[in-house]
Amino acid sequence: MMAGMEITLNAPLDMHLHLRDGDMLKLVAPLSSDFAGAVIMPNLVPPVTDPGAMLAYSERIAAAMSGEPFSRYMTLFFTAQTEQQLRMAAETPGFFGYKLYPAGITTNSEGGVANLAEADSTLNMMQDMGIPLLVHGESHGFVMDREAEFLAVYRNLATRYPRLRICMEHITTAAALQLLEEFENLCATVTLQHLIITLDDVAGGALQPHLFCKPIAKRPGDRDALLQAALSAHPRLMFGSDSAPHPRCRKEACGCAAGVFTAPLALPRLAELFATHHALDNLQDFVSGNACRIYGLNPVQKQVTLHDTPMQVPTAYRSYGQQVVPMYAGEQLSWSVKR
């Protein structure tokens, strides 16, 4: 690789982030501070379902960022809502949209939607009010087929609510990318790990709990299609890390929790990936431009310069009595944030 490469990004955004709460929030929030902002997931225990709890959570995040400017795009856990409830949410500072989880599909989603028909009037009102719907799109089928099976639901939603902004969160298949082409009202996020790994990296050799997440990494053809779409800055594909920290003892355990922790290394690894594929010019759109255009965002001013100087990834991040193991723990990346 040519030495001395660098790129300066304007307001990079993480369009899908888990920050948790309490001591874990205090540990991980500052590790996302190279981003200008993020869409914050609501799957706390209990989930964030009302605007007051959302606002309080947003303020705890701001406190954990200790003064670092950071645009907090807050989500509420989707359940059927009245018009009055939707108005309350829409008027709450920082509100971004609703996150829909099929009931029981992943971490803390037990209270999610069991029957989409019951959500019809809510979705109609959301489309009229311009409130985005973010979706964890997996069925309860065979684990490798869950996303593919859910595509029929996306198709149904996109057809029934043509003016609803629907985001397919953390897509993992080539088939999801194809669906994106069919409906203008669909957009999607993709994680770092799903651009890089396949199921082989998770379970092909010794089991790698720190690469285990939902949706699970798929086949090489899926990974390659996602990577090509990201590298070419597909206009409706956005970076969303789905960085999902769990305490080390919950990952290195029988009954390993799902989630890959990538926040502190996502930007360096993305720069490395785009540089390797001679696509650095498209990174700005993938990590910010597309999201700002799709959702009409205006995040805080923040510039981050990445350069091809190595980053040593810690074996774990430790603070406040918490310990979290990142992707690439103990390894060296060839790009880093220029301080």
- Determine the length of the chain: 339
**Closest alpha carbon to 154 in 137, 129, 133, 134:** 137
Considering only residues 8 to 37 of the shown chain, the ones binding ligand DOR according to CB under 6 A are 18
Q: What residue 107 binds from ligand DOR, Zn ion, none (CB within 5 to 8 A, per partner kind)?
A: ligand DOR
Q: Distance between CA atoms of 123 and 131, rounded to whole angstroms? A: 9
Catalytic residue among 14, 222, 242, 308: 242
Contact characters 210-249, Zn ion, x per CB under 5 A: --------------------------------x-------
List the structure tokens of 167: 């985001």
Q: What residue 258 binds from Zn ion, ligand DOR, none (CB within 5 to 8 A, per partner kind)?
A: ligand DOR
Considering only residues 177 to 216 of the shown chain, the ones binding ligand DOR according to CB under 6 A are 213-214
Q: Identify whether 242 is a catalytic site residue.
A: yes
List the structure tokens of 325: 């193991």
* 138 is an interface residue for Zn ion by CB under 5 A: no
**Closest alpha carbon to 165 in 300, 37, 15, 11:** 15
In the bound state with Zn ion, the residue whose beta carbon lies nearer, of 35 and 335, is: 35
Considering only residues 270 to 329 of the shown chain, the ones binding ligand DOR according to CB under 6 A are none
Indicate left, alpha or beta for 231 from its phi (over 0: left) and psi (-120 to 50: alpha): alpha
Strands 317-319 and 322-324: antiparallel
In the bound state with ligand DOR, the residue whose beta carbon lies nearer, of 47 and 268, is: 47
Q: Residue 166 pairs with which residues in a beta bridge?
A: 133, 186
**Closest alpha carbon to 122 in 54, 76, 74:** 76
Q: What residue 43 binds from ligand DOR, Zn ion, none (CB within 5 to 8 A, per partner kind)?
A: ligand DOR
* 258 is an interface residue for ligand DOR by CB under 6 A: yes
* 125 is an interface residue for ligand DOR by CB under 6 A: no
Binding site for Zn ion (CB under 5 A): 242
